[in-house]
Amino acid sequence: MAPDNAHNETFNGNLRDECLNLQRFETIAEAKRIIEAWLSNYKESRPHIELGD
């Protein structure tokens, strides 16, 4: 498995486990809002190996 693919699979698993599996979206707008909030939190609160944590 290529390193980029491993990172993508990790991200996809986290998105699914921490967001998508916990929500029942009533509208596309609601899904977009919730997923964007999760993504913002994911980007800001996770250490990034490439940036030296």
What pLDDT does 37 receive? 96
pLDDT tens track for 2-40: 668 888 999 999 999 999 999 999 999 999 999 999 999
Band of the pLDDT at 44, cuts 50, 70, 90?
confident
For residues 33-52, average pLDDT: 83
Q: Closest by alpha carbon to 4, among 50, 52, 53, 51?
A: 50
Helix axes 3-18, 28-45, angle to 10 degrees: 120
Provide the whole-model pTM.
Answer: 0.74
